[in-house]
Structures are given as C-alpha cells and as structure tokens.
Amino acid sequence: MEKMKLKILYSDLKSDIDIIEKELEKALNSSSHLINDASLHLLQSGGKRIRPVFVLVSAKFGHYNIDKVKNIAVPLELIHMASLVHDDVIDNSDLRRGTHTVKAQWNNRVAMYTGDFIFARALEYVTSIENKRVHQILAKTMVEICNGEVIQIEDKFRKDQNLKDYFRRIKRKTALLIESSCELGAVVGGLDDKSVGHLRRFGYFVGMSYQIVDDILDFTATDKELGKPAGSDLLQGNITLPILLLKGNPTIDQFIDQASVGEVTESGRLEMLKVVRNSDSIKQSITISNQYLRKALKEVEALPNHPMKKKLRDIALFIGKRKF
C-alpha cells in the first residue's frame, strides 16, 4: 500500500527516476564479480530513492536538464547506499529491509571494500560537475555525516542524554544528506541564492521529520514491515525520541541496562515494545515530527510560484505519514 502511494507520488518523475536507476546500475558496474554481486544485492533490496527525488524536484524550480541533474542525484544515492553498507558492519545487522546485508551475506571486510568502492564511484561520478561549490557542499556533508555517526556511537546506552543531543545527532545522521540533496539540486538547477536557501531549509526540516518517523516506526511497525525485529534501535543502544520522552521509566531503564550487556530476552523485548506503544511518547514524537513538517511547508510557501511546490508538499506529507 505504502509502496503504491510512493509510486503514485513519483509518477510524473518516473522517466527521470528510471534514468537514475540505470545510471546507478552503471555506476556500480565493476570488473570484480564479488563487487557486482554485492552491489546488485543492494540495488535489488530497494529503497525509496528520496534523495535523488529531492534533487530532481529542487532542480525543476530552475533550468532543469536531467543530463546535468543526474550527476548529483546519482552520487547522493550512492553515498547513502555506501554508508548503509558500512553502518550494517557498525550495527552488526544481518537484515535490512528484509534481506541479508552485505556483511551477513559475505563478511565485514567485503562490506568495507564494497562501501569504499561505492563511495569512490560516487565521487568519480560527481567530478563531471566542475562547480567547486557543489563539491564543497557534498564534502562537508560527508564529513558531518561521519561526525554524527561518531557521536551516535559515543551516545550508545547513555541514559543521561537529552533532546538536544538527539536532535544534534539526527541532524547529522539523516537531515544533512536530505538538506544537501535539495540544496545541490537547486544549485545545479541554477536557482538564485534565496531559493537555494529555502530549498536547503526545506530539506533540513523534512530530513528531521523523516528520521523522527523512522525512530517511531522502529517501535510501532511490525517485524515484517521493518524487515528486522521491532525495537532494534534500542537493542543496539540508540536512544531515540520515543525513549527520551519516556525518561525514567523503570522498564525502559532496565531494558537499556540489559541491552548494554547483551542480556535481552525475547519477552523483555516484547515487554519494552508494549510499554513504548502504550505510552504517550509515540503521540508526542509524532507532534514533534509534525512541527518539523510545518516548518518545511513554510519554506515551500516562501518559494516562487511553481507547479513543483505541490510536489514538495506532497512528498513532505508522505514522509510525515509513512508507515514503512
């Protein structure tokens, strides 16, 4: 159902998304059979391709040329894919979207080389753009994403963290790449600085909402919908918004303590999920996500009149209401 909604949402961009898909396949082509297998595995495991879509839609506000725009849309998706491959090593995840991760299918080292290969392909691809500003934005984003991940590891199982820590972390972890997707699409489309700013901020607010929804879904969706056990974030020590809003809850505190020493039982996980699902923290998290969405929509309003404004609004609203 959700995938159908997304398909409808992207329908008028379909021909360009198809170009992006083909380019992704081309970019991942390698003389190494193993890299080809691992990359194909990644491509087939799907993904919402929201970063390329944000690039395309943002660029449509300016002088749109898919042959130019793809040069930033493709690398952004590649960077996202590469970081997922490395994240699965960090999180020791065997499943992503219901399929085996590269590290589970082969091993950690294969995942490292595959990720490095994809990162390099992304940069190779983006060098067809000679604009220094584009590279500066992208490079800064890559470094900041890394910094966010370092902070995430430092914050694991840390019960004394606050909302500011969480927002700072998800900004770097997720919002930045979506922010950059919108900004870079706008820059490549040749938009004026004011519009670039609106689209950049739109991307940031939508990115924050996207991650909050992701963190909510980790507790509210089923194992099947998630393609991994619900509550995996907390099992790995990632203390997200719904948990921060439950600060001091004895069941949750006990669960974090047990998870930190790898002593969580299945009944303990189900009990934790019950506590989170029956609490107010999910509702409060949705409210905070919606606040970010409202801010994103305000940025859309400030953009010059253009048919793509409706598309931006629709995508933002889909992200806020999505169920997977």
Chain positions contacting another protein, by CB under 8 A: 30-35, 83, 86, 89-90, 92, 106-110, 112-117, 119-121, 123-124, 127, 130, 132, 135-136, 138-140, 142-143, 145-147, 149-150, 153-154
Spatial CA neighbour of 190 closest among 139, 135, 140, 131? 131
Smallest distance from the beta carbon of 139 to another protein, in angstroms?
4
Structure tokens at 126: 């983006």
Q: How far apart are CA 91 and CA 261, in angstroms?
A: 15
- What residues contact residue 290 under an 8 Å CB cut-off, 6+ apart? 209, 320
- Phi, psi (deg, nearest 5) at residue 84: -65, -40
Structure tokens at 105: 């299918």
Smallest distance from the beta carbon of 322 to another protein, in angstroms?
28
Smallest distance from the beta carbon of 289 to another protein, in angstroms?
27
Give the CA distances from residue 284 to residues 32, 269, 287, in Å, rounded to whole numbers and listed in that order. 48, 22, 5
- Residue among 120 and 163 whose Cβ is closer to another protein: 120
- Residue among 136 and 254 whose Cβ is closer to another protein: 136
Q: What number of helices (H) and strands (E) belong to the chain?
A: 18, 2
Smallest distance from the beta carbon of 237 to another protein, in angstroms?
11
Smallest distance from the beta carbon of 158 to another protein, in angstroms?
13
- Residue among 125 and 292 whose Cβ is closer to another protein: 125
Q: How far apart are CA 86 and CA 226, in angstroms?
A: 19
Q: How far apart are CA 89 and CA 95, in angstroms?
A: 11
- Residue among 118 and 244 whose Cβ is closer to another protein: 118
Smallest distance from the beta carbon of 119 to another protein, in angstroms?
6
Spatial CA neighbour of 124 closest among 105, 138, 111, 112? 138
- What residues contact residue 40 under an 8 Å CB cut-off, 6+ apart? 28
Smallest distance from the beta carbon of 144 to another protein, in angstroms?
8
- Residue among 57 and 142 whose Cβ is closer to another protein: 142
Smallest distance from the beta carbon of 55 to another protein, in angstroms?
18
What would the DSSP string read from start to end of 206-263?
HHHHHHHHHHHHHHHS-HHHHTS-TTHHHHTT---HHHHTTTT-HHHHHHHHHHHTT-
- Residue among 173 and 201 whose Cβ is closer to another protein: 173
Distance separating the N- and C-terminal Cα atoms of the chain: 10
Smallest distance from the beta carbon of 145 to another protein, in angstroms?
8
- Residue among 31 and 44 whose Cβ is closer to another protein: 31
**Dihedral angle sign, alpha carbons of residues 309, 314, 320, 324:** negative
**Residue owning tokens 């889909």:** 318
- Residue among 113 and 318 whose Cβ is closer to another protein: 113
- Residue among 93 and 251 whose Cβ is closer to another protein: 93
